[in-house]
Structure 1
Amino acid sequence: MVLSALIIFFAQLLYVPILTVRTIMMVKGMKQKAATIGVLEGAVYVVALGLVFSDLSNYLNMIAYALGFGIGLYIGAMIEEKLAIGYVSLEVNIMNRNDELVHRLREVGFSVSTSEVQGMNSVRYLLDCTARRDREKEFIKIVSTYEPNAFIVSFEPRNFKGGYITKAMKNRREKFINKKNSQNKDNK
């Protein structure tokens, strides 16, 4: 009785994060990976649900299923945050033109387009930027250092066509890392 509840609980801890990763891969267009993970997800799901349905009078199994599902969602969210698959578009709204910020963002490999926009009471400056999702916090930290009062909005684009995005951002990032490593060696 308790053993089946524990099996159900741990099956849910495995199933739900797999479900989360599979869903992310589907949304990101990674069909083959999503299908492969879906096979594992289906197997775990059938085992856990089979145990629950084998004895509907055992409330401990149902509680284990629900608790495992809830905790599994939390674990899945943490895994998704760590994987950070894809890109993020960031809009930065600042009061004044800040060439140092723009230069720094470009130097470390972020794409940056700038424009002057009309705010409610004044002219403002808008930076339209793109980054890999795993670098979003780094981006926000750099902007916050140069512009503590910046208004930053991020969202995930579904598709890209043309432009600066992938190859140039990777090349710029590698160039920055090589330069930084070279400076570190010179300082030693």
Structure 2
Amino acid sequence: MKEILLILLLQLMYVPLLTLRTIFLVKNITLLASILGIFEMLIYVFGLSLVFSGDQSLLAMIVYAVGFGLGIILGTKIEQKLAIGYINVTVNTQEKNKALLDTLRNDGFGVTLYIGEGRDSNRYRMEILTKRNREDELIATVEKFEPKAFIMSYEPRRFKGGFLLDRMKKREHK
């Protein structure tokens, strides 16, 4: 029975590492992805050897598969907590809300405002690039000032220059 629990525990370690390694590769953080890959493979080989060497191989295989599924959930939760990378948030409003703009800028968000022509009147679009771990804070602030705002967020693949990168470089040199 100890081996069965160990197999489950190993899967709960292996799959989150697999998830994080994949995300780091996608975000081009290759050194960290490589280090995680080493630990991932050690756990994988050890766990698989337990599955095929034990007397309860059918039960071990089932536990291995269940552990894999649970590991996906755990890995996703860990990644959401880490919130690695950046997001671009587009906010569309019917009014130019100066209080919202000032609050966002005072809170350290770089905001670019565009004016567009809607069917019935002008619309105001804000483009905001921020770290993913600040997404909830950003959206809560927008909703506080503009409950009817249309908000859309996505992850940019690549970017260069601008307010956020300049601010980050200044912090690194301090």
**Does the 8 Å CA contact 1:109/1:170 hold for their aligned counterparts?**
no
Q: Flag structure 2 segments of 5+ consecutive residues without an equivalent.
A: none
Amino acid at match of 2:58: Y
Separation (CA, whole Å) in 2 of partners of 1:171 and 1:72: 39
Q: Percent identity?
A: 45
Separation (CA, whole Å) in 2 of partners of 1:119 and 1:56: 69
- What is the deviation of 1:78? 0.9
Deviation beyond 6 Å, 4+ runs, structure 1: 169-172
Separation (CA, whole Å) in 2 of partners of 1:102 and 1:143: 9
Counterparts of residues 169-184 of structure 1 (less than 5 Å): none
| Superimposed CA distance per residue, residues 119-142 of structure 1 (whole angstroms, 9 cap, x where no aligned partner) | 344321100111111110000010
Counterparts of residues 112-123 of structure 1 (less than 5 Å): 112-123=111-122
Counterparts of residues 136-175 of structure 1 (less than 5 Å): 136-168=135-167
Q: 1:99 to 1:13 in 2, by over 3 A?
A: same
Separation (CA, whole Å) in 2 of partners of 1:20 and 1:58: 26
- RMSD of the TM alignment (CA)? 1.9
How many residue pairs are counted as aligned between the two chains?
A: 171
Separation (CA, whole Å) in 2 of partners of 1:72 and 1:10: 9
Amino acid at match of 1:148: P
Q: Flag structure 1 segments of 5+ consecutive residues without an equivalent.
A: 173-188
Amino acid at match of 2:133: D
> Would you say 1:66 and 2:65 are equivalent positions?
yes
Q: 1:3 to 1:104 in 2, by over 3 A?
A: same
Instruction: Give the TM-score taking structure 1 as reference length.
Output: 0.84
2:96 aligned counterpart, secondary structure: coil
Which segment is superposed worse, 113-122 or 89-98? Answer: 113-122
